[in-house]
A = this chain, B = another copy of it.
Amino acid sequence: VPHPLPQGATVYSVAEAAGVSIATVSRVFRRPEAVSAKTRAKVLDAASRLNYVPLGAARSLAVRHHEASGLVLPELRGPYYSELLMGFEARTAELGHSVVLALADGKHDLDQTVRGLASRVDGLAVLGAGGLPAAVLATLGAAKPIVIIAGDPLPGTDAIGAENTSSARELTDHLMEHGRSRMLFLGRPDLAPDVRDRYQGFRQAHLARGLDVPEPVALSFAEADGAGFAASLLAGDHSADALVCANDELALAVMDRLLRHGVRVPDDVAVVGWDDVMAARYVRPGLTTVRQPVRAIGELVATRLRERVNGAALAQAPVRLATHLVLRASCGCVEPDAASSGDGPCGCPAHRK
């Protein structure tokens, strides 16, 4: 950086302008009630006249904490990460702290970025720990609290996420009750812990009925992958009457292609996903999906992180928040009411237990 910052006002300049000592200036901002009304007014006046903006770094150094929480996310496409971030930010701000954000995708020097992040926060939350070297996480974990989001806890870290296995089993069961028997799981269990857990639930549902468990069809989340799969399904490379997709983007892409080629959904093949994106309720048929309490997760992560920073002990076990099915028409249910937005429970026999 060429030049240092243009000199701004400091406690010294404000103190001088107000005719008081720097301690008084500091007090006016930290413990206003400990200063006489008259002096306070003088100081505030001087401060605003000089456009005084305190230097956070100096305060942090003095009080020995950053008053900031770090968050590392893969990216921000779709509602999942955004809602998580909104929850995290809301709670963090409520606690009086700042949030420092880093996105992993497309970063060739993730180490650098995350190290930089870590040096300016009191603790950090990470989603998609797969992206960064375990060594880095270990170092950071030893230096400050870390919360893993939607993943497996590392030694010395907390982990918070949504329930995936049981919702996947429930969803698979639901499809079976609709009479589906040749199901396929679309997604890469090796790519992320949630996908792994979803496949696990898919698997359990099959085993519970004594059925063979189909191997997962290795597709990433990308919409292009969905289109590709649809093509191979149409070509007869696969045979299925229900598709359990790792997320909604994939489900929507596949469903869209199938529909365009005359395949009837759900009659010929049912399609379901995860996340309940906006498009899920606007497409025809409405997409049956799983909604996760994403915002709540973000809030919880922020809360937990702060507790750890303040000295709380490590949790014994990962926290898993409950999810719930959103039944629309793509699984074979009948949409409740043509004039409603399609979010209520449907009245078809399949899920009237």
Contact of A65 among B4, B64, B66, B90 (CB under 8 A): B4
Which bracket fits the contact residues of A? 35 or more
**In-complex Cβ contact of A143 among B1, B51, B89, B101 (8 A):** B51
Interface residues of A in 70-98 (CB under 8 A from B): 75-79, 81-83, 85-86, 89-90, 93, 96, 98
- Residue in A60, A107, A117 whose Cβ sees the most chain B Cβ within 10 Å: A60
What's the minimum C-beta distance from A74 to chain B, rounded to whole angstroms?
11
Is residue A278 contacting chain B, with contact meaning CB distance below 8 A? yes
Partner among B52, B86, B283 whose Cβ is within 8 Å of the Cβ of A75:
B86
Within 8 A of B (CB), among A36-89: 48, 51-61, 63-68, 75-79, 81-83, 85-86, 89
With known contacts A99-B100, A100-B100, A120–B277 Cβ distance under 8 A: no
**A2 interface contact, C-beta 8 A:** yes
A82 to B79, CA, bound (A): 9
Partner of A282 from the list B120, B144, B252, B261 (CB cut-off 8 Å) is B252
* Complexed CA–CA distance, A63 and B57 (Å): 11
Question: Does A102 sit within 8 A of B, measured CB to CB?
Answer: yes
Contact for A103 among B1, B90, B116, B339, CB less than 8 A: B90
* Most chain B beta-carbon neighbours within 10 Å: one of A77, A143, A338: A143
Is A279's beta carbon under 8 Å from chain B? Answer: yes
Q: Are B68 and A77 in contact (CB under 8 A)?
A: no
CB of A214 closer than 8 Å to a CB of B: no
A5 part of interface (Cβ distance < 8 Å): yes
> What residues of B have a CB within 8 angstroms of the CB of A277 in the complex?
278-279
Query: Given that A61-B57, A98-B117, A106-B90 are known contacts, is A8 also in contact with B143, CB under 8 Å in the complex?
Result: yes
A310 at the A/B interface (Cβ < 8 Å)? yes
Would you give the 0/1 interface string for A1-42, flagging 1 where the beta carbon is closer than 8 Å to chain B?
111111011000000000000000000000000000000000
Give chain B residues whose Cβ lies under 8 Å from the Cβ of A310. 1-3
Contact A260 B338 (CB under 8 A): yes
A276 contact set on B, CB distance < 8 A:
none
Q: Does A181 contact B (CB under 8 A)?
A: no
Taking Cβ atoms with an 8 Å cutoff, the residues of A that contact B are 1-6, 8-9, 48, 51-61, 63-68, 75-79, 81-83, 85-86, 89-90, 93, 96, 98-103, 106-107, 112-113, 115-120, 122, 139-140, 142-144, 227, 249, 252, 256-257, 260-261, 277-279, 282-284, 309-311, 338-339, 341
List 4 A-B pairs, minimum CB-CB distance, nearest first: A57-B60, A56-B120, A279-B279, A56-B119
